[in-house]
Amino acid sequence: MDSLAQHSMPMKAKQPQWDSRHIRALRQHLCLTQQQMADTLGTRQQTISEWETGMYRPRGTSSTLLTMVAERAGFNYETTPARKTKPRKA
């Protein structure tokens, strides 16, 4: 085995990006209130509301938890790809 292969880090899979429509659809699929969904994810009801209104998007661990809950519940979802930012003009 060459030295490069021994020291390379495993590739991390891209995490799907959850949008407001898919978060609300998952919660409704689970027949949960915003408070119950918040309790399930270990967050606040206000956070669920902010996600569902599009004020904020879940990221990091929250996004991972949403994906895990969706898969466990058999929720058929297609999340939106991460938005690419356009370079700013000087």
Q: What is the CATH number of the domain that holds 31?
A: 1.10.260.40
10 vs 31 pLDDT, higher one: 31
Has residue 27 been placed in a domain? yes
User: Is residue 7 assigned to a domain?
Assistant: no
Distance CA 66, CA 16 (A): 10
Rounded average pLDDT over 4-28: 73
Q: Is the pLDDT of residue 24 over 60?
A: yes
Write down the H helix ranges in 1-90. 3-7, 20-29, 34-41, 45-52, 61-72
In a domain? residue 85:
no
- Domains identified in the chain, total number: 1
Predicted model pTM: 0.71
More confident residue, 89 or 85: 89
* Within a domain: 40: yes
Confidence bin at 50 (pLDDT 50/70/90): very high
Q: Between 27 and 2, whose confidence is greater?
A: 27
Structural domain that includes position 67: 20-72
